[in-house]
Structure 1
């Protein structure tokens, strides 16, 4: 049986001394992984690129042609190949950031537990998971405190009454998370976690479940695609739980 030849795709992308288009590389890689034979046409000068865009009435490169038909750039190619859903079905919200954060925090907690106790099944592993989650989430917010505090004002009840609270919040969350990870100064970390967690939980519950508002969550920073709701409520409930548990744990032990 004769093996069929791979489909041919023509790719036009910028390959200049001072600029190698990253989307051009990603497009070429995607086509090859999908089994296409790529006819690569590098656009090596600004003049050549502008002439190409004018000829085909496009504003960007790369551009892909399959079967004589122009498909478009990298994002259009992903839709054409079925990698992504059609643009009209795509959502501007995603849980990927928090899934990544909680997954990494969980694995770190399990690793620390195994290193310290020789087992991943320990109470400290649960504590580390929450405290590390708090710390990583705080880092996300601290990358752009101004942007975070602006989004935070959409729903946080205390920030609406005292605007600077939005700028203080990430530092408080980071401090509480770091101290709880170390297991020291519980008399500082526990009240902070309990306070910001309680205010946050009430604010999110009111905004989402009482007022029925559809907002973006500031939990992973100001440039977020995570919808406000279960994730943010969970973050705050975890802080509340740690704020109660850590002093109780110190008393019991």
Structure 2
């Protein structure tokens, strides 16, 4: 006896041209297939064909997905339809994903270096490398667009507000201190730099967030950051402060 198996189907209209294949169309097709849909894949192969489709359905973008004859929309709407993302009106531009990625990779690099150097990932040097590598990676984020970073930084940093050039010097200083601390070299230079910028950062963040109660975005991962100013940025500055104190103590007192 044959069993009737119902198949979920969806119609997808996406741009597939000789010089352009829409990435969101590929993402939509992949998402539908992973959700168990058989995709009726319609290629819009010319600009004229794409414009005619958009005019017919009263939409401004492609791809467009139709399920059970009802238009769901583009890739973002498809994610909402499947419950992956909340509805647009409930979405927030605040995210901790950039700093989670940076600190996670820095931790893995530090553990890997320790394992290579000492035969075990769990060493004091691994903790030092975690901080110094985090500093260098965060500096890279800022150095991608120093102008944009400095603009956001001026919203809360107390020294930068008094001496504007400091906002552009900061990411270079952080990168220098982080690189030297990773190498364990020139502690007499790296430690004061880290201690100075870390201390100014802590005072500025505490004043802006915990005293003035301002809601700002953190410039810690660059000028386009959606990370809120607060615990994460405070942690970054505290780590630099502690490294600025620890490295000379280790080099000149405990050695």
1:184 is aligned to 185
Question: What does 1:113-192 correspond to in 2, within 5 Å?
Answer: 113-192=114-193
Does 2:96 align with 1:95? yes
1:55 is aligned to 56
Q: How many residues align?
A: 253
Q: 1:55 to 1:177 in 2, by over 3 A?
A: same
Structure 1: 5+ residue runs without aligned partners? Answer: none
2:66 is aligned to 65
Indicate the SS of the match to 2:66. Answer: strand
Displacement after TM superposition at 1:5 (Å): 2.6
1:35 is aligned to 36
Indicate the SS of the match to 1:39. Answer: strand
Structure 2: 5+ residue runs without aligned partners? Answer: none
Cα root mean square deviation, aligned: 0.9
Task: State how far apart, in whole Å, the 2-side matches of 1:157 and 1:140 are.
Answer: 21
Displacement after TM superposition at 1:48 (Å): 0.4
CA-to-aligned-CA distance 1:145-186 (integer Å, 9 cap, x gap) = 000000000000001011111100000000000000000000
Displacement after TM superposition at 1:18 (Å): 1.2
Task: State how far apart, in whole Å, the 1-side matches of 2:181 and 2:25 are.
Answer: 46
CA-to-aligned-CA distance 1:75-104 (integer Å, 9 cap, x gap) = 000000111111122111000000000000
What is the TM-score when the length of structure 2 is the normalising length? Answer: 0.98
1:194 is aligned to 195
Indicate the SS of the match to 2:226. Answer: coil
| Shift >6 Å, 4+ stretches | none
What is the TM-score when the length of structure 1 is the normalising length? Answer: 0.99
Task: State how far apart, in whole Å, the 2-side matches of 1:65 and 1:48 are.
Answer: 18
Task: State how far apart, in whole Å, the 2-side matches of 1:220 and 1:97 are.
Answer: 7
Task: State how far apart, in whole Å, the 1-side matches of 2:10 and 2:150 are.
Answer: 47
Indicate the SS of the match to 1:202. Answer: helix
Question: What does 1:210-225 correspond to in 2, within 5 Å?
Answer: 210-225=211-226
Task: State how far apart, in whole Å, the 2-side matches of 1:8 and 1:115 are.
Answer: 52
